């Protein structure tokens, strides 16, 4: 049985949910996937750091019995009140760094540094942080290739719904010439409630009450969240080299509730669409904007907080993948799917593009 040792950087909702997945489903995962997972380190801004590389690693059941806000590793064996991120990432003998810190999407920090440290230390990395991938995705992939490790980031777009990996692995032999997506559940929920007759303020308040919208919903409502995802998808799927400034962004405030209801009466549905298309000259045209979609459009029926991306391919046509776009368990599953992808690369003896460097990053136990 192969085993991977994980270090969880950031222990907010997502990595805590990953720990829950491993604790509750570890046996099923071993039986089904053929590898075991052991968490050997956790760091967190508030709780500090915890390192246990002996025996079964960190006792996840014991850890998860403590309420999130009350975790304080300083009194624990192997614990410290300091997060010690750099030391843990560089020095603790983990195979995979699961990066899920609170990160500023505009400069990508601290996740960007975490990813670099991990790769430089020869460790595989998976992250759910959009910032580093949107800002420096290609550079980080190149760095990972040079170091013979994997850099995975499925959770940056539509949480655990496998859109990046589907586009990468399921469209072999096809040309993907563009995509359109509903990639933000908050704004889609608000649009649906406007159709139902609520005012903009009422719809946003309801989304907040249901936990779909944050206290400051600007990034969701004005499309900035989608803008980052468009950059990530266009660079990954269309081979573009876009930065955020290359993606014009219009949010929902450009619409009135009347616009939405009038369109609905005509069979049209306003959606906040992030899209990109490869132009004949090979460059990529990308944008975020509200669009009034006809009923037969594959994204018109995406309801509530749902997300979906329609990939336009030749010669197959349009393939749409829909599913959850957020949620702590759903996003933690993205990290698990990244670990599975790392296992597949490692088991095949090669990281794609790494000159088939044989990897010895897993333990036989």
Least gap, CB of 322 to a copy of itself (angstroms): 4
Stretch in the footprint of a copy of itself (CB under 8 A) among 131-139, 207-215, 227-235, 333-341? 333-341
Q: Measured from the CB atom, is 69 or 355 closer to a copy of itself?
A: 355
List 348, 352, 353, 360, residue binding a copy of itself (CB under 8 A): 348
Instruction: Give the position of tokens 């368990």.
Output: 329
List 109, 324, 354, 357, residue binding a copy of itself (CB under 8 A): 324
Of 74, 2, 3, 5, nearest to 44 by C-alpha is 74
List 143, 198, 205, 340, residue binding a copy of itself (CB under 8 A): 340
- Tell me the site size for a copy of itself, rule CB under 8 A: 46
Q: Assess contact for 213 and 326: CB atoms under 8 A.
A: no
- Per-residue string for binding with a copy of itself, 94-123, x by CB under 8 A? ------------------------------
Q: Measured from the CB atom, is 28 or 45 closer to a copy of itself?
A: 28
Show the tokens assigned to 272. 């906040």
The yes or no reply on residue 166 touching a copy of itself (CB under 8 A) is yes
Q: Which residues are catalytic?
A: 229
By CB under 8 A, what part of segment 7-46 binds a copy of itself? 21, 25, 28-29, 32-33
Stretch in the footprint of a copy of itself (CB under 8 A) among 70-78, 102-110, 125-133, 159-167? 159-167
The yes or no reply on residue 280 touching a copy of itself (CB under 8 A) is no
d(CA 351, CA 142): 12
Q: Measured from the CB atom, is 101 or 161 closer to a copy of itself?
A: 161
Least gap, CB of 141 to a copy of itself (angstroms): 18
N-to-C CA span, the chain:
6
Stretch in the footprint of a copy of itself (CB under 8 A) among 63-71, 75-83, 127-135, 161-169? 161-169
The yes or no reply on residue 254 touching a copy of itself (CB under 8 A) is no
Q: Measured from the CB atom, is 35 or 117 closer to a copy of itself?
A: 35
Show the tokens assigned to 311. 């990939």
- Per-residue string for binding with a copy of itself, 304-323, x by CB under 8 A? x-x-x------xxxxxxxxx
3-state secondary structure the chain: CEEEEEEEECCCHHHHHHHHHHHHHHHHHHHHHCEEEEEEEEEECCCEEEECCCCCCCCHHHHHCCCHHHCCHHHCCCEECCCCHHHHHHHCCCCEEEECCCCCCCCCCCHHHHHHHHHHCCCEEEECCHHHHHHHHHHHHHHHHHCCCCEECHHHCCCCCCHHHHHHHCCCCCEEEEEEEECCHHHHHHHHHHHCCCCHHHHHHHHHHCCCCCCCCHHHHCCHHHHHHHHHHHHHHCCCCCCHHHCCECCHHHCCHHHHHHHHHCCEEEEEEEEEEECCCCCEEEEEEEEEEECCCCCCCCCCCCEEEEEEEECCEEEEEEECCCCHHHHHHHHHHHHHHHHHHHHCCCCCCCCCCCCCCCEEC
The answer to the question of whether 106 is labelled as a binding residue is: yes
The yes or no reply on residue 205 touching a copy of itself (CB under 8 A) is no
List 1, 66, 170, 254, residue binding a copy of itself (CB under 8 A): 170
Binding residues for L-homoserine: 214
Binding-site residue set for NADPH? 106, 130
Known binding positions: 106, 130, 214
Q: Which residues bind a copy of itself (CB under 8 A)?
A: 21, 25, 28-29, 32-33, 160-162, 165-166, 169-175, 295-296, 298, 300-304, 306, 308, 315-324, 327, 329-330, 333, 336-337, 340, 348
């Amino acid at each position: 049985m192969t085993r991977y040792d994980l270090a969880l950087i950031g222990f907010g909702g997502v990595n805590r949910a990953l720990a829950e997945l491993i604790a509750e489903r570890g046996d099923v995962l071993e039986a089904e996937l053929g590898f075991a997972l052991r968490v050997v380190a956790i760091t967190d801004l508030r709780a500090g750091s915890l390192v246990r590389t002996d025996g079964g690693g960190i006792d996840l059941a014991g850890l998860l019995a403590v309420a999130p806000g009350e975790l304080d590793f300083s009194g624990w064996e192997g614990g410290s009140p300091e997060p010690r991120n750099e030391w843990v990432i560089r020095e603790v003998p983990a195979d995979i760094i699961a990066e899920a810190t609170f990160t500023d999407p505009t400069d990508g920090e601290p996740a960007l540094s975490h990813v670099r440290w991990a790769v430089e230390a020869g460790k595989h990395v998976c992250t759910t942080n959009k910032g580093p991938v949107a800002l420096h995705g290609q550079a980080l992939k190149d760095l990972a290739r040079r170091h013979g490790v994997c850099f995975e980031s499925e959770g940056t777009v539509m949480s655990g719904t496998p859109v990046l990996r589907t586009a990468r692995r399921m469209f072999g032999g096809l040309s993907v010439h563009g995509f359109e997506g509903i990639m933000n559940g908050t704004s889609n929920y608000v649009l649906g409630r406007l159709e139902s007759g609520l005012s903009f303020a009422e719809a946003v308040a309801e989304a907040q009450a249901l936990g779909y919208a944050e206290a400051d919903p600007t990034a969701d409502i004005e499309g900035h969240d989608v803008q980052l995802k468009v950059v990530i998808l266009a660079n990954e799927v269309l081979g573009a080299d876009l930065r955020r400034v290359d993606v014009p962004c219009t949010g929902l405030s450009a619409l009135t509730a009347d616009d939405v209801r009038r369109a609905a009466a005509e069979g049209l549905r306003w959606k906040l669409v992030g899209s990109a298309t490869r132009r004949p000259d090979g460059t990529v045209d990308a944008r975020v904007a509200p669009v009034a979609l006809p009923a037969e459009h594959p994204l018109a029926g995406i309801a509530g907080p749902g997300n979906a991306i329609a990939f336009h391919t030749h010669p197959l046509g349009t393939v749409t993948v829909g599913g959850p776009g957020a949620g702590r368990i759903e996003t933690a599953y993205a990290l698990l799917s990244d670990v599975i992808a790392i296992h597949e690369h490692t088991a095949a003896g090669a990281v794609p593009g790494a000159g088939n460097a044989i990897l010895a990053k897993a333990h036989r136990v």
